[in-house]
């Protein structure tokens, strides 16, 4: 069951991405190097209250998230991550069966609002353009990796470009993202930070060829729970409840 959890903050602004990533990885990762993670997070404005939203697409992580966040809440240890002043609160949930049964309410158009920069990694490059194939390919990978077995796969062939972009309201966004703290070891050649190019805003996608519109609808409704693209566990690629064209 995909779920969203709210971590209320005391201050505005995006918290230290590296620190939040490190803390949530400690709580939730079973394989740190897997390409498709069952969790994501992003800064959010919860009715005027600054917050983090944590998305889970694996039921087995819920108990772990609640147990470890409760221990963090009780702990007096100071971390670079923001303090947890109150228990996490569930703000949204759906089932895989509900997502699989979703049907379009409109004529072949979908609008996604990227509330944090969405980016797509190719080698050492971070590309900001949310073209249909990488966006829905990312969501399809999440579905195939984490969906409950009883709902099955989605039939979505993107090879012939059946979706096109018909509306853009936003701009590119570039950010220096810290990956780790410098350790003073001159032989350690891992990057301390990277430059991430992303897109921030709203994109309208329209069917322009043979397409299973129900599959696109299912993936569109999944997006707020998992995010899109690269670095979703560092606060990128967040999708809020899609608005209808």
- How does DSSP classify residue 239? B
Per residue in 120-152, pLDDT tens?
Answer: 999 889 999 999 999 999 999 999 999 999 999
Question: pLDDT averaged over the chain?
Answer: 90
pLDDT band at 190 (very low <50, low <70, confident <90, very high): low
Q: What is the mean pLDDT of residues 161-186?
A: 85
pLDDT of residue 142: 97
Per residue in 204-238, pLDDT tens?
Answer: 999 998 899 999 999 999 999 999 999 999 999 99
Query: Domain 3-93: which topology?
Result: Alpha-Beta Plaits (3.30.70)
The pTM (predicted TM-score) of the whole model is: 0.91
| Assigned architecture for domain 99-234 | 2-Layer Sandwich (3.30)
pLDDT of residue 185: 62
What is the percentage of the chain residues whose pLDDT exceeds 90?
68
pLDDT of residue 242: 63
- Rounded to 5 degrees, φ, ψ at 149 are -55, -30
Q: Please tell me the distance from the alpha carbon of residue 202 to that of residue 228, in angstroms, as a whole number.
A: 13
pLDDT of residue 11: 76
Q: Please tell me the distance from the alpha carbon of residue 118 to that of residue 238, in angstroms, as a whole number.
A: 7
Q: Please tell me the distance from the alpha carbon of residue 118 to that of residue 202, in angstroms, as a whole number.
A: 11
pLDDT of residue 30: 83
pLDDT of residue 187: 56
Domains 3-93 and 99-234 share a fold: yes
Per residue in 70-103, pLDDT tens?
Answer: 999 888 666 678 888 889 999 999 999 999 999 8
Q: Are strands 89-93 and 125-127 parallel, antiparallel or unpaired?
A: unpaired
Q: What is the mean pLDDT of residues 53-59?
A: 96
What is the percentage of the chain residues whose pLDDT exceeds 70?
92
Structural contact between residues 34 and 115, judged by C-beta atoms closer than 8 angstroms: no
Query: 61-76 b/e with 16+ CB inside 10 Å = b?
Result: beeebeeebeebeeee
Q: Please tell me the distance from the alpha carbon of residue 100 to that of residue 102, in angstroms, as a whole number.
A: 6
pLDDT of residue 40: 97
Instruction: Report domain extents, the chain.
Output: 3-93, 99-234
pLDDT band at 20 (very low <50, low <70, confident <90, very high): very high
The length of the chain in residues reads 245
Structural contact between residues 38 and 27, judged by C-beta atoms closer than 8 angstroms: no
pLDDT of residue 124: 86
Q: Please tell me the distance from the alpha carbon of residue 112 to that of residue 156, in angstroms, as a whole number.
A: 18
Strands (E), the chain: 3-8, 39-46, 49-56, 89-93, 109-118, 120-122, 125-127, 163-178, 193-207
């Amino acid at each position: 069951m995909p779920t969203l959890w709210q971590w209320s903050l005391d201050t505005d602004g995006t918290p230290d991405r590296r620190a939040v990533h490190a803390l949530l990885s400690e709580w939730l990762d079973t394989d740190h190097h897997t390409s498709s993670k069952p969790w994501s997070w992003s800064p959010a404005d919860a009715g005027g209250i600054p917050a983090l939203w944590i998305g889970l697409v694996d039921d087995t992580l819920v108990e772990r998230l609640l147990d470890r966040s409760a221990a963090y809440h009780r702990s007096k240890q100071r971390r670079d991550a923001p303090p947890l002043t109150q228990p996490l609160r569930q703000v949204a949930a759906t089932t895989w069966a509900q997502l699989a049964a979703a049907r379009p309410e409109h004529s072949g158009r979908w609008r996604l609002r990227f509330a944090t920069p969405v980016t797509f990694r190719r080698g050492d490059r971070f590309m900001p353009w949310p073209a249909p194939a990488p966006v829905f390919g990312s969501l399809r990978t999440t579905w195939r990796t984490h969906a409950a077995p009883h709902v099955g796969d989605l039939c979505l062939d993107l090879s012939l470009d059946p979706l096109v972009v018909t509306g853009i309201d936003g701009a590119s966004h570039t950010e220096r993202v810290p990956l780790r703290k410098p350790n003073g070891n001159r032989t350690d050649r891992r990057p301390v930070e990277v430059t991430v190019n992303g897109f921030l805003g709203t994109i309208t996608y329209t069917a322009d060829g043979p397409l299973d519109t129900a599959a696109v609808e299912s993936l569109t409704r999944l997006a707020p729970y998992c995010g899109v693209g690269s670095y979703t566990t560092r606060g990128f690629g967040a999708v809020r409840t899609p608005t209808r064209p």
